[in-house]
Structure 1
Amino acid sequence: MFKYIINRFLRSLLTLFVVITVVFLLMRMMPEEGYFGKEGTDKLDAKQKEAILTNLGLRDPMTVQLKNFYEELLHGSLGDSIIYRPNVPIGKIIKEKAPYSIAIGLSALGISLITGLIMGVIMALKKNKIPDKIGTFYVVVIRAVPPIVYYLFIQVYLTKILNLPILFDVDEPSSWILPTVAMALGSIAGYAMWMRRYMVDELNKDYLKLARAKGLSEKKIMFYHVARNALVPMVQYLPASILFTIGGSIYIESLFSIPGMGGLLVDSIQLQDNNLVQALVLMFSVVGVLGLFLGDVLMAMLDPRIKLHGDGGGR
């Protein structure tokens, strides 16, 4: 197990190094206007522009820029915002925004996990019956319709029907309901679909015949064997789902005016704040790779069928 974890950790580090380096190089290809602050380039002559870029180190050789960037990164610095909030450390901005995304994201994750898994179990147990057909219809609709469509439907119609606030207000608890529900809908469909699939696969396996031959009741078979084994493949994606709540939802946060990470990314791109865009993209990349790493480790701990030795822990 230890060898497997170390192997996965080193692979994740290599992936992160490649992703961070590529993002850094791509950001250096962006227009230079994103480095001149709110005054833009209109009031600056060529010498002033060149002086600013030189002071920022953007005229150094690319290898030197990359080295300086990694040194700052290892010291925990993401740099300062240039346009969004001039000269304010990006870490401070993220610290202010992340709690909103995390609170709504974790709430939505909890709702989707409980609802989706229960729905998937019912659909599997009632295969080809009315509950299964209703659940399948829901999954198909959610998967087929673009999210922005049912987000708008929720905001326009449920606001009136349930008499809930149309926009987010941190001091109004009821304003958290609609964005949380909207964020959970897609995940509910995903968890239900995969739980049904894995349970149906388990129900067709030979070990259930042995369990019945030993006299185990259907309840014990379903709970201790079928549902338990069906959950194992889904556990792999749980760490990534939790970590991605930090990133928030661009659609939902923009639609409901939530001051979270998703809206921050949109604002930074629109303002061409290159430092802030770079920091956010790097953060989302780290979250994604870390989620996959933790998912692999958790999967290996729960599923003894995974090969942990021999060719470096491949599955």
Structure 2
Amino acid sequence: MLWYCVKRLLRSLGSLCIIIVIVFCLLRLMPIEGYFPNYDKMSAQEIQNGLQKMGLTAPLYQQLFHFFGELLHGDLGVSNIYRVDYPIVRIIAQKAPVSIEFGLIAMAISLPLGLVLGVLMAKKKGGFWDQFGTAYIVFIEAVPIMLIYLFLQLYGTGVFHLGILYDSDKPATAILPVLSLALPSVSGYAMWLRRFMVDESNMEYIKFAKAKGVPNNAIWFRHVFRNAMVPLVQLIPGSLLLTIAGSIYVESLYSIPGMGGLLVDVIKRQDNTMVQALVIVFAALSIFGLLLGDILMAIVDPRISLTKKAVSR
């Protein structure tokens, strides 16, 4: 188990390093206006001196090694436009709690609803709940998610008279953003749990248990549901971390001061260092979610071999 965790951690770090290199090189192709708050008022000499001071005139490989050295010390650089010369780590530390709060609340709603819907769809295969769940999943998957968010905002504010923008002093204004984050996740959990439970219910040991006269509820919940949750557990950490990171569109739509809205803001302002830092943070969260999912799946079911090549990802 320990050796498996070490190998997966090293592979994840390798993937993250590759992403960092790609993002770093691509951002160096961006216009240099993104490094100066008053670029239009600066002379050519002032611009050159500023680039030299930031180390942007050095060869690319030297800039990259210097950046990795700063990362090892937890330094993501400073903002050049969004908040001039302010450490990016501090900005993220101020924004992250908001995204974490919304993400956890949305997860607390979507996970139980998705599991219940998935169980009902699997047990009542072909029945009302299966048809209802299938229609809901198809709707979520087929309709552009931005259109769904707009409909929620439109009818939520018009019918239920909820605030169109988030206000921390008015808890009711958090309802629509939380629902916007939660509802798409419900379909994902329900779809995968149904699939895993249906596959599990067709296993030979389930047929044998039915032939022995084991009660139907015991079969579904002690065997089918329990075993179907093993592969689903692998998806939960990544989904949780991505939800915590915050939907970029949702936070921007409701003016939520979180990390997702921050990314949209700094892209509009062309703050290159901020964009670079946030993309790396989101990539790190995604990779860490996959790593945590693999480890958690092995913990939930100790029968899973962690050394056979057949099960390696």
Which category of TM-score, normalised to the shorter sequence, fits these structures? over 0.9
Listed one character per residue, the Cα deviations across residues 279-308 of structure 1 (whole Å, up to 9, x for unaligned) are: 001101111111111111111222345332
What secondary structure, in the 3-state scheme, does the structure 1 residue paired with 2:55 have?
Answer: coil
Unaligned runs of 5+ in 2: none
Cα offset, 1:17, TM superposition? 1.3
Listed one character per residue, the Cα deviations across residues 17-36 of structure 1 (whole Å, up to 9, x for unaligned) are: 11111111111111111111
What secondary structure, in the 3-state scheme, does the structure 1 residue paired with 2:263 have?
Answer: helix
**What are the residue-to-residue correspondences of 1:143-222 with 2, within 5 Å?**
143-222=141-220
Q: Give the Cα–Cα distance (whole angstroms) in 2 for the partners of residues 87 and 27 of structure 1.
A: 19
Does the CA-based 8 Å contact 1:117-1:191 persist in structure 2?
yes
Cα offset, 1:237, TM superposition? 1.3
Corresponding position of 1:12: 12
The number of residue pairs the alignment matches comes to: 313
The answer to whether residue 47 in structure 2 is matched with residue 53 in structure 1 is no
**What are the residue-to-residue correspondences of 1:152-301 with 2, within 5 Å?**
152-301=150-299
Q: Give the Cα–Cα distance (whole angstroms) in 2 for the partners of residues 155 and 311 of structure 1.
A: 48
Corresponding position of 1:117: 115
Corresponding position of 1:26: 26
Listed one character per residue, the Cα deviations across residues 208-249 of structure 1 (whole Å, up to 9, x for unaligned) are: 122234442111111110011111111111111222234211
Cα offset, 1:70, TM superposition? 1.1
Q: Identify the range of structure 1 (212-221 vs 56-65) with the bigger mean alpha-carbon deviation.
A: 212-221
Amino acid at match of 2:92: I
The answer to whether residue 82 in structure 2 is matched with residue 84 in structure 1 is yes
Q: Give the Cα–Cα distance (whole angstroms) in 2 for the partners of residues 159 and 228 of structure 1.
A: 40
Listed one character per residue, the Cα deviations across residues 35-85 of structure 1 (whole Å, up to 9, x for unaligned) are: 112x12x22111111000000000111121111111111111111111001
Does the CA-based 8 Å contact 1:307-1:314 persist in structure 2?
no
Q: Give the Cα–Cα distance (whole angstroms) in 2 for the partners of residues 131 and 63 of structure 1.
A: 57
Q: Give the Cα–Cα distance (whole angstroms) in 2 for the partners of residues 264 and 11 of structure 1.
A: 29
Does the CA-based 8 Å contact 2:80-2:273 persist in structure 1?
yes
Q: Identify the range of structure 1 (3-12 vs 242-251) with the bigger mean alpha-carbon deviation.
A: 242-251
What secondary structure, in the 3-state scheme, does the structure 1 residue paired with 2:78 have?
Answer: coil
Q: Give the Cα–Cα distance (whole angstroms) in 2 for the partners of residues 239 and 127 of structure 1.
A: 28
Q: Give the Cα–Cα distance (whole angstroms) in 1 for the partners of residues 206 and 84 of structure 2.
A: 64
Q: Give the Cα–Cα distance (whole angstroms) in 2 for the partners of residues 27 and 286 of structure 1.
A: 17
Q: Identify the range of structure 1 (136-145 vs 208-217) with the bigger mean alpha-carbon deviation.
A: 208-217
Cα offset, 1:189, TM superposition? 0.8
The answer to whether residue 139 in structure 2 is matched with residue 141 in structure 1 is yes
Cα offset, 1:253, TM superposition? 0.8
Q: Give the Cα–Cα distance (whole angstroms) in 2 for the partners of residues 209 and 134 of structure 1.
A: 27
Q: Identify the range of structure 1 (244-253 vs 122-131) with the bigger mean alpha-carbon deviation.
A: 244-253
Amino acid at match of 1:34: G
Q: Give the Cα–Cα distance (whole angstroms) in 1 for the partners of residues 236 and 306 of structure 2.
A: 21
TM-score in terms of structure 2 length: 0.96
Unaligned runs of 5+ in 1: none
What secondary structure, in the 3-state scheme, does the structure 2 residue paired with 1:236 have?
Answer: helix
Q: Give the Cα–Cα distance (whole angstroms) in 1 for the partners of residues 122 and 272 of structure 2.
A: 49
Does the CA-based 8 Å contact 1:7-1:312 persist in structure 2?
no
| Aligned CA distance change for structure 1 residues 312 and 198 (closer, same or farther; 3 Å) | closer
Q: Give the Cα–Cα distance (whole angstroms) in 1 for the partners of residues 149 and 311 of structure 2.
A: 42
Q: Give the Cα–Cα distance (whole angstroms) in 1 for the partners of residues 42 and 192 of structure 2.
A: 57
Corresponding position of 1:98: 96
What secondary structure, in the 3-state scheme, does the structure 1 residue paired with 2:149 have?
Answer: helix
Does the CA-based 8 Å contact 2:102-2:244 persist in structure 1?
no
TM-score in terms of structure 1 length: 0.95
Q: Give the Cα–Cα distance (whole angstroms) in 2 for the partners of residues 285 and 214 of structure 1.
A: 50
What secondary structure, in the 3-state scheme, does the structure 2 residue paired with 1:284 have?
Answer: helix
Q: Give the Cα–Cα distance (whole angstroms) in 1 for the partners of residues 230 and 128 of structure 2.
A: 27
Q: Give the Cα–Cα distance (whole angstroms) in 1 for the partners of residues 204 and 310 of structure 2.
A: 31
Corresponding position of 2:35: 35
Q: Give the Cα–Cα distance (whole angstroms) in 2 for the partners of residues 216 and 137 of structure 1.
A: 33
Q: Identify the range of structure 1 (17-26 vs 268-277) with the bigger mean alpha-carbon deviation.
A: 17-26
Q: CA RMSD in A?
A: 1.5
Q: Give the Cα–Cα distance (whole angstroms) in 1 for the partners of residues 310 and 24 of structure 2.
A: 30
